[in-house]
Amino acid sequence: AQRVTQPEKLLSVFKGAPVELKCNYSYSGSPELFWYVQYSRQRLQLLLRHISRESIKGFTADLNKGETSFHLKKPFAQEEDSAMYYCALLNYGGATNKLIFGTGTLLAVQP
Amino acid sequence: EAQVTQNPRYLITVTGKKLTVTCSQNMNHEYMSWYRQDPGLGLRQIYYSMNVEVTDKGDVPEGYKVSRKEKRNFPLILESPSPNQTSLYFCASSGLGGNSPLHFGNGTRLTVT
């Protein structure tokens, strides 16, 4: 079954420390993965997608098919990075393309 | 400005009193969807729509209805709300195809007493 797992509910780091938010997926086809971010009292917004191979706000994520992972990384955390982060998998199914979300990880960056 | 607009932002109601949460997008998106966000459960899809008059159940459709009479609007209807529907609700839209990201509304926090 298609599934996205984010094992950590909360990740607390100090400002300037490296950050890695874990995401593992289960998908039978070729996966298409995204990271969404939700800052306090704001809407969810797309942070990055693996097909773009981009770096947004210093964050990167590499798809590792061998480990079925798509971890989100940033070398030096900033306080403004504190937010809820969701990993999502696009599930292609006939006429329906559906995003499957993980349960989210709350990143708290301490000063 | 391209956006998804939900109303109201906050709603407190009592068990059994019908309510509607509106959602409108101005991006001419075919796909629209409703999610509920609960602590520890993440985002779960309630209903989605691929186009006008085309709606389908998501993962947790029980107790909800939707309609898609116009492309821009996708209201969420709770005919008889119950306390277990207390949640934060998000509407989202996108074009069809994997490269089109989901655009989310600001959310509606519903409390059913």
**Tokens 């964050």, located at residue:** A59
Q: Does pLDDT of A94 surpass 60? A: no
Average pLDDT over residues A98-106: 89
Of A42, A49, A86, the CB nearest to B42: A86
Q: Is the model more confident about A93 or about B8?
A: B8
Backbone phi, psi, residue B84, to 5°: -75, 0
Tokens of B53: 């008059």
Q: Is the model more confident about A1 or about B78?
A: B78
Helices (H) and strands (E) in chain A, counts: 0, 11
Tokens of B15: 């068990």
**Paired sense of beta strands A105-110 and A10-14, if any:** parallel
Q: How confident is the model at residue A96 (pLDDT cuts 50, 70, 90)?
A: low
The number of CA neighbours under 13 Å toward the Cβ of B56 is 10
Q: Comparing C-alpha atoms, which of B86, B62, B90, B87 is closest to residue B74? A: B90
H-run or E-run covering A91 = strand A83-93
Of B4, B42, B58, the CB nearest to A103: B42
Confidence at residue A97, expressed as pLDDT on a 0 to 100 scale: 62
Average pLDDT over residues A81-100: 80
Q: Which residues of A touch B105 (CB under 8 A)?
A: 43
Q: Percent helix, strand, coil in chain B (nearest 5)?
A: 5, 50, 45
B42 and chain A in contact, CB less than 8 A: yes
Tokens of B49: 């729509």
Q: Does pLDDT of A93 surpass 70? A: no
Of B31, B40, B98, the CB nearest to A92: B98
Query: Is B99 close to A51, i.e. CB distance below 8 A?
Result: yes
Q: How confident is the model at residue A4 (pLDDT cuts 50, 70, 90)?
A: very high
Average pLDDT over residues B21-42: 93
The number of CA neighbours under 13 Å toward the Cβ of A69 is 13
Q: Does pLDDT of B68 surpass 60? A: yes
